Amino acid sequence: MAERLYNRLLAIRSERGLTQAGLAELVGVSRKTINTVENGIFIPSTLLALKLARALGRPVEELFSLEPDQIGD
Amino acid sequence: MPQISDIELADRLSRRRARMLSALAILFLAGQAIYFSGPDVPTRNVDQLKVSAWLVWAIVLLVLLGTGGGLMRTGKVRALMEDEPTSANRLRAYSFGFWSASGTAVGLYIVSMFEPVSGREAIHLILTAAVAGALLMFGMLERRAHRDG
């Protein structure tokens, strides 16, 4: 079975009032990187996942999960 | 003229690259008719020029695919253009190019059992399949990566 990574990046970014470009600026990556992670097209490296979590001030497991129901506040 | 951030500039250049590489791949494929309308062995200057032009074109496209372009830009903009999704997309494109070339080679081997295929023709077709296949795949993946939602 194909595994996928669920993420709450869009929701948490919106909560923080950040645009994709704004978050990209904070993390030091391209807007495309944020877009592809949010849309589930691209699974980020551990390094990028940790950078995203740090930029948003949340633990990384709150941003990413293997099961959709594990993602929640 | 308003100043744009490096992120915005990299975004624009990356979108342009995706469109440009797709268009170049289609032009490269469409241009093959010119080369196969000539003689099997190029003896005239004009035929040799056509073969050389194809080879130069193929090498330029390979360099563009491998480097991602933007060589005149700052290191930061180039790094933003060569982000994690781009590297992943390039690897998938290389893989597709490999399978395109392998498929073409198998096809040519079968054809050669029934009619002669010159070495030059075989190399031409295999390299064309590899370059065009990889470029088309890279362009498609990059355009998808830029699409919102």
Place of tokens 């797709």: B22
Of B108, B105, B116, B124, give the one whose Cα is nearest residue B42.
B124
Q: What is the pLDDT of residue B5?
A: 87
Higher pLDDT, B76 or B113: B113
| Residues in A touching B146 (Cβ below 8 Å) | 32, 35
Question: Does A25 reach chain B within 8 Å, measured CB to CB?
Answer: yes
pLDDT of residue A1 exceeding 80 = no
Q: In order of start, what are the domains of chain A with their CATH numbers?
A: 6-62 (1.10.260.40)
- The pLDDT value recorded for residue B32 is 83
Tens digit of each residue's pLDDT (9 = 90 or more) over A5-52 = 889 999 999 999 999 999 999 999 999 999 999 998 899 999 999 999
Please report which helix (H) or strand (E) contains residue A8, including its range: none
Mean pLDDT lowest among B31-40, B47-56, B69-78, B137-146 = B31-40
Element (H, E) at B34: helix B32-36
Q: For position B83, what pLDDT does the model report?
A: 92
- The reported pLDDT for the residue numbered B148 is 75
Span between the terminal Cα atoms of chain B, in Å: 31
Q: Which residue has the higher pLDDT, A5 or B2?
A: A5
Task: Give the C-alpha separation, B91 to B82, whole Å.
Answer: 12
Contacts of B14 in chain A (CB under 8 A): 30, 32
Contact A21 B83 (CB under 8 A): no
**pLDDT average, residue stretch B128-145:** 95
Predicted confidence band of residue B100 (pLDDT cuts 50, 70, 90): very high
ipTM (interface pTM) = 0.81
How large a percentage of chain B has pLDDT more than 90? 66
Q: Which residues of A touch B144 (CB under 8 A)?
A: 41
Collapsed DSSP state (helix, strand, coil) of residue A6: strand
Provide mean pLDDT across the span B17-30. 93
* pLDDT digits 0-9 by tens, B33-68: 777 766 666 677 777 777 788 899 999 999 999 998
Residue B2 pLDDT > 90, yes or no?
A: no
Give the Cα separation of B9 and B17 in Å (integer): 12
- Arithmetic mean of pLDDT, B13-22: 94
Where would I find the H helices in A1-73? 9-15, 20-27, 31-38, 46-56, 60-63
Share in percent of chain B as helix, strand, coil (round to 5): 80, 0, 20
**Measured distance CA(B14)–CA(A55) in Å, rounded:** 24
Judged by DSSP in three states, A13 sits in: helix
Chain A residues 28-47 with CB within 8 Å of chain B: 29-33, 35-36, 39, 41-42, 44-45
Query: Where do the domains of chain B lie?
Result: 6-146
Is the pLDDT at A73 greater than 50? The verdict is no
> Considering only CA atoms, which of B33, B32, B26 is closest in space to residue B140?
B26
